Amino acid sequence: MTRPEDVLVQRLGEAVVEQVRFRDDLTLIVPREHMLRALEIAGSTGFRLLTDLTAVDRHPAQPRFDVIYMLTSVEQHARIRFMVHLAADQTMPSATSLWPGANWLEREVFDLFGIRFDGHPDLRRILMPDDWEGHPLRKDYPLVEEPVEFKGHTPKVPSEIIPKSKPKLL
């Protein structure tokens, strides 16, 4: 019996740089210039639901980012993942022409990682305040504590909240 993702891989042909199968989930690594076409072909073979879109910062490795699209075929009970390796200075084509719901997902990736999507209808922050500097899920984002202001309440320090456990003797 032919699996739906096998049909997709056959139709994509040379656009697939690498295939990785882990626990029966298939990841197809595709160059950024073939990504939109690969997503279109996936949609025409039954993978019509964009389940998620995210990124991974691999800093200091190069290329720096992996942009990941997760697709589902409800009819065929199948999932597939597309991945694009992306240099820090590169942009991705927007998938909003294929899935209008990609709008918010691309905005989230832009907001948290700083990856830009060409052709996006409204690429602006979605989670962080508009005046926020930087992208908090980048590995080189500075780790600092933000002072928290409470009115009428002074929070306890963690050592006062977390109970200390006594070691058990054997």
d(CA 66, CA 56): 5
Boundaries of domain holding 121: 4-161
What CATH number is given to the structural domain containing 108? Answer: 3.30.460.80
110 φ, ψ (degrees, to nearest 5):
-60, -45
Question: According to the model, what pLDDT value does residue 76 have?
Answer: 87
How do the pLDDT tens digits run along the chain, 170 residues long?
677 778 888 888 888 999 999 988 899 999 999 999 999 999 999 999 999 999 999 999 999 999 999 999 999 888 999 999 999 999 999 999 999 999 999 999 999 999 999 999 999 999 999 999 999 999 999 876 565 667 777 777 766 776 776 666 65
Q: What is the pLDDT of residue 158?
A: 67
Helix (H) or strand (E) holding 72: strand 65-73
pLDDT at 117: 98
Look at the chain and count its residues. 170
Report pLDDT for 101: 93
Residue type, 79: R
Instruction: Examine residue 12 and state whether it is found in any structural domain, yes or no.
Output: yes
pLDDT of residue 1: 61
What SS3 state is found at 44?
helix
In a domain, 166, yes or no: no
State the pLDDT at residue 168: 62
* pLDDT the model gives residue 145: 57
Instruction: Classify residue 114: in a domain, yes or no.
Output: yes
Tokens of 51: 């389940």
Domains of the chain: total: 1
Residue 167 belongs to some domain of the structure? no
Per-residue model confidence (pLDDT) at position 63: 97
pLDDT of 23 reads 86
| Within a domain: 50 | yes
Residue 99 lies in a domain: yes
Give pLDDT, residue 11. 87
